[in-house]
Chain A
Amino acid sequence: MVQMNDVRMVYDNTSAVALDGVDFTINEGEFVFLVGPSGSGKTTIIKLINGEVAPTSGAISVNGFDMTAIRRRRLPKLRRTLGVIFQDFRLIDKMTVYENVAFAMRVVGASGRDIRARVPQVLELVGLEGREKRFPAELSGGEQQRVAIARALVNNPRMIIADEPTGNLDPVRSLDLMLLLEKINELGTTVLVVTHEKELVNAFSKRVIAIDSGRIINDGMDGYYGYETE
């Protein structure tokens, strides 16, 4: 669960106000789109959720962690409850599909036996069975993003945060990917998708939080157009 109360964020180096009094709650098991133009504050919200930055004021709670008081050494514990997916996939080129996914388990101290049991399950879930030995360069963009999703899922996070996950994909692959995220959500994982792709958002009847100039301007089930008409 993510809860933000009157969060204000001013970056020290630029003095720019990135967020100004942001309030929202994402409950366990929800599927939420976070939409808004470039520079609206979407990325800052992600950084606040995963503890990369601390808010200037206000209160944030993420999966039971108080982000305004969290100690640096507790951040790994928080991050193990989150799975993050990026537009540019961020796969390790010299590792195979299997190794990329297993790497995420290995670095949090999973045993070899657990890795051997879990990785094939996740690869099957994202539809990459049979592709284990391929390197990222041998895969399509959609497949690479599926590897990234598998890596985000492999440690059983409570929440998946997808930052412009379809930015490098064509419309068909984008829809496939969103369907996969919806499936993951149906299995119980909270999903937060940050995007600015109107058609994609409107294709799903999900909660949309719209942000502009650091303020929440719409929060509801009325899709992306709700944001546009503000």
Chain B
Amino acid sequence: MRLNRFFYLLGQGVKNIFTHGFMSFASVTIIIACLLIMGCFSLLTMNIDTMIDEMQNQNKVIAYVDETLSEDEARALEDKILAVDNVESAEFVTREEAMDNFESDYDDNVFENIDPTVFRHRFVITLSDISLMKQTQAELRKVDSIASVTAHLDYAKKFVTFRNIVSVVSVVLVVILIVVSLFIMTNTIKLATFGRKEEIAIMKMVGATNAFIRLPFVIEGLVLGALGGGIAYLLMWGLYELLTERVMTTMASGIITIIPFYTVALPVLCVFLGVGILVGVIGGTTAIRNYLKV
């Protein structure tokens, strides 16, 4: 295609956007909304996955000792614990050490002056086979003077369930929003085609090819879609950084790991621009289809 012809078609496409300014604005807005919701759910799923992986890597079980036992009595339980099947090792942690660990997880001094007696002596137990965690946990509970046994895998399982729910909801929402975006995009460009139907008829009459007639409308969709994708990416970035900052300043920061945005920035940008452009181009192509049948 000759350069002047390309610029003519590009100019026509951009002109269409401003001719129907409000509908163009509506199209971009709906694409942004769709991508933001899709992005939020996808990033939430990715973060949950990361947390699940971390939890699964920490195949440790914590056995809390009855609080009436002295430190020496508690230490003496080590042999009984090591005797339980599937226990590879057991590290004794005093209540003072536990308190220190807890405090070190927080930068501020909220937990200063806490009495160490609120913590229990405990054993951090490493298992040989993580798949038998549930059975091992039950065996450890049977050991005398073990008050309770916690296993991270319980959380992990809950997270898996939560992740699955989020995934399903996000897929359903994304499909609905893409359909809505396509509908609005198609109608926006249909308005442009309706306003230019005489021109299109004349183009057909004098022998313009369908590609030539279609291209300005496809360019219109492409520009609107790319604009929506770009703006949605910037908003997603800001929103993510804001939420990360909020989460990291809460108590949950000790148990929640958040993926830094820069590690996902490029894929998010590509997906946002890709989906935006795809919706725009499909919308543009669909809108003009009926006028090209003559």
Residues of A within 8 A of B (CB): 50, 52, 73, 75-80, 82-84, 90, 92, 103-104, 106-109, 111-112, 151, 155
Contacts and interface: CB of A to CB of B under 8 A. Distances in A.
A106 B199 CA distance: 12
B4 A79 contact: no
Interface stretch (B41-49, B175-183, B206-214, B246-254): B206-214
A104 B2 CA distance: 17
B205 A76 contact: no
Interface string B198-224: 110111111111101100000000000
Contact of A111 (B4, B201, B205, B206): B4
Interface of B: 2, 4-5, 8, 198-199, 201-210, 212-213, 294
Chain B interface mostly: helix
Contacts of A52: 294
Contacts of A50: 205
A186 B212 CA distance: 34
B4 A104 contact: no
Nearest to A80: B207
Given A52-B294, A107-B212, A109-B5, A79 B207 contact: yes
Contacts of A107: 202-203, 206-208, 212-213
B2 A155 contact: no
A79 B206 contact: yes
B2 A92 contact: no
A151 B205 CA distance: 11
Contacts of A73: 209-210
A90 B212 contact: no
Nearest to A51: B294
Given A106-B8, A109-B212, A155 B199 contact: no
Contact of A108 (B4, B206, B294): B206
Name the 4 nearest CB pairs between A and B, nearest first. A80-B207, A79-B207, A107-B208, A76-B207
Contacts of B210: 73, 76
Contact of B198 (A84, A92, A151): A92
B9 to A, nearest CB: 10
